[in-house]
Amino acid sequence: MNRLIVAAVAAAFALSPLAVMGQAAAPPPPYGVGIGFDAAKKALAAAEAEAKKNNWAVAIAIVDSSAKLVAFSKMDNTQHASVDIALGKAVTANNLKRPTKALQDGIEKGGVGLRILGQPGITPLEGGVPIVVDGKIVGAIGVSGVMSNQDAEVAMAGAAAAAAK
């Protein structure tokens, strides 16, 4: 079933305005072995540090390349809905091999980009980022609790820390 969903989403992107306009995107990296617990903790610590630096109360979810939860943090005073949203962003970024901002941008343009809203299990809000190590997706990080662009800032800090040698 998940393969069918991913195939449907891939088809929707193939028909997206960017593809129709002839702008070819680079193929996404392949999946690698899932992120380990130590690397996930490193990513979580960096994301938490970024959030604390800005006084942002957020939930942070890190999934492996099979989209299963590896690490999670919910800072004090984070809204309860952010727990599920952060996990949804991480799963979406992993399963679609792209930052969730790409989905948000597609919806904003309307037209065929709205098709993504009909797909179950997709969280098309900025703040989910794949974690790429040695050219392979090892998982993803999703953040929720503040404005979506701020969520993405926290997520990118975590992803960068996980990818650092």
Domains of the chain listed by start with CATH number: 2-163 (3.30.450.150)
Smallest Cα–Cα separation from 97: which of 135, 61, 43, 59?
135
pLDDT digits (tens, 9 = 90+) for 27-71: 999 999 999 999 999 999 999 999 999 999 999 999 999 999 999
pTM of the complete model: 0.84
Do residues 77 and 68 make contact, with C-beta atoms less than 8 angstroms apart? no
pLDDT, residue 43, reads 98
Low-confidence ranges of the chain (pLDDT < 70): 1-24
- What gap in Å lies between CA 98 and CA 13, rounded to an integer? 11
pLDDT, residue 76, reads 97
Rg (CA), the chain: 15
Contacts of 154 (CB under 8 A, 6+ apart): 47, 50, 51, 56, 58, 60, 127, 143, 146
CA distances to 64, 76, 93, 130 from 98, rounded to whole Å, are 14, 29, 5, 6
CA distances to 8, 17, 63, 132 from 3, rounded to whole Å, are 8, 23, 18, 21
Helix 148-163 × helix 101-109 angle, to 10°: 150
- What gap in Å lies between CA 141 and CA 136, rounded to an integer? 15
Do residues 22 and 14 make contact, with C-beta atoms less than 8 angstroms apart? no
Cα angle, residue 52 at apex, residues 51 and 53 outer, rounded to 5°: 90
Helix 81-96 × helix 101-109 angle, to 10°: 90
